[in-house]
Structures are given as structure tokens and as C-alpha cells.
Amino acid sequence: MTHKEFVDQINVNGLSPQCRTLYRHLTQRKAAGISQMEATLLYKIMALPRRIADLKEAGIHIKAENKVDQTGTRYARYSLEA
């Protein structure tokens, strides 16, 4: 079974509303992913790393990519693993 097939079988209804929103975002915008700033502005998710951990506990494979913006501020960008 591939990861995509596994993820498709996950009972998303068992997740919290924020996790469902985050999961929907990640599946619809696979290439873009999401950062803490985007999660806060778009969905009012204040604790993105905790929601990512919740999704990982549910069996969803998510990768974190550390980035640096133009001002030198470091941040993590989360996306689904291929």
C-alpha cells in the first residue's frame, strides 16, 4: 500500500477541527505546504507544530523544511511527503 492510499483511508472525522482544516489545506496545496504565519493568518491556528504532531500521530507523513526569509528570520514550512 502506498502512502497516498494509506492517507486516503485515514478517518479524518476523528481529528480535531483545526487538524481537519490543516489536512485539507495540505492535500489541496501539496506543493505549497504551510508555514506558521500562513496557518495563523488563514485559519487562526496558533500552535501549528502541535497540530502537525497530531496529524503525524494519526499516521500522516509530513515533512518539515527549514527556510530563511529575506530578513534572515528562520521558519519551518510543512508539507505532505511524496
The pTM for the full model equals: 0.82
Closest of 9, 22, 13, 1 to residue 59, by C-alpha: 9
Structural domains in the chain (count): 1
Q: Which domain holds residue 8?
A: 3-80
| pLDDT confidence bin for 76, thresholds 50/70/90 | very high
Question: Looking at residue 43, what is its pLDDT?
Answer: 97
Measured CA to CA, the distance from residue 42 to residue 33 in angstroms comes to: 13
- SS3 of 19-68: the string is HHHHHHHHHHCCCCCEEHHHHHHHHCCCCHHHHHHHHHHCCCCEEEEEEE
| CATH number, domain containing residue 36 | 1.10.10
Reply yes or no on whether the pLDDT at 9 is more than 70. no
For the segment 16-65, what is each residue's pLDDT rounded down to a tens digit? 999 999 999 999 977 789 999 999 999 999 999 999 999 999 989 999 99
